[in-house]
């Protein structure tokens, strides 16, 4: 018996091996990422104008995905941490528990303090891979430090972001280099279609 998984060997090889062993050594068939062909992305005019105010590579984009909803306190620590960085940022998050809107959850005076440095992109963000996969296996991120209860502070958030964004940081440079390397791999011609062809071949052999 086999099982099908929508993962990629080069990205989640260890995880795929673990799942295979967990299910009695069953053969796994990977479909790959099934990504659309890369093309030109046209931003809305307001975002082009907003991004043009800042240096390339200086804007922080924060998204937790559609499956994550923060408590109000953690939401506030997150946005306050982004404020502490002094960097421009976009945030795409769901409305926290216990409030009826994003605006209600924002810390007092937050929007006035950040001014145009914060993009008002509130709402659901795209789902992202597991933080540990990104940080430990792929080397394209670092994890925000957490306390014994799993919570984080604004200082923890700010420290993690600046470690990555600081041009003089060796860790940040390593992460940016890894980012570029993985991007080049993912954007290779036929990278995704090769997985699909192999998937079909595996199915035909069953």
178/184 Cα distance (integer angstroms) = 10
Indicate the domain borders of the chain. Answer: 1-38+189-206, 55-186
In terms of Cα–Cα distance, which of 105, 115, 113, 47 is closest to 78? Answer: 105
Task: Tell me the pLDDT of the chain averaged across its residues.
Answer: 78
Q: What is the pTM of this model?
A: 0.71
What does the angle CA 165 – CA 170 – CA 171 come to, to the nearest 5 degrees? Answer: 65
**pLDDT, tens only, 149-181:** 889 999 999 999 999 998 888 888 898 888 888
| CATH 3.40.50.2000, applies to 55-186 | yes
Q: Between 30 and 48, name the one with better pLDDT.
A: 48
Greater confidence (38 vs 76) lies with 76
Q: For a pLDDT cut of 90, what percent of the chain falls above it? A: 29
pLDDT tens-place string over residues 63-109 = 876 778 899 999 999 999 999 999 999 888 889 999 999 999 999 99
Between 121 and 41, the more confident residue is 41
Three-state DSSP state, 58: coil
């Amino acid at each position: 018996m086999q099982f099908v998984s929508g993962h990629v060997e080069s990205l989640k090889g260890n995880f795929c091996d673990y799942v295979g062993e967990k299910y009695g050594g069953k053969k796994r068939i990977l479909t790959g990422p099934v990504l659309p062909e890369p093309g030109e992305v046209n931003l809305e005019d307001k975002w082009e104008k907003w991004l043009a105010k800042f240096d390339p590579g200086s804007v922080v984009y924060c998204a937790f995905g559609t499956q994550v909803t923060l408590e109000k306190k953690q939401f506030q620590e997150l946005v306050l941490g982004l404020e502490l960085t002094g960097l421009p940022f976009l945030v795409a998050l769901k409305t926290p528990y216990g409030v009826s809107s994003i605006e209600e959850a924002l810390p007092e005076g937050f929007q006035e303090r950040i001014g145009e440095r914060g993009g008002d992109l509130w709402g659901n963000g795209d789902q992202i891979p597991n933080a540990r996969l990104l940080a430990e296996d792929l080397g394209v991120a670092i994890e925000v430090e957490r306390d014994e209860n799993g919570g984080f502070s604004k200082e923890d958030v700010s420290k993690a972001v600046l470690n990555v964004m600081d041009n003089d940081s060796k860790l940040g440079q390593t992460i940016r280099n890894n980012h570029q390397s993985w991007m080049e791999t993912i954007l290779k011609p036929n990278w995704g279609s090769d997985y699909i062809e192999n998937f079909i071949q595996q199915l035909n052999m069953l």
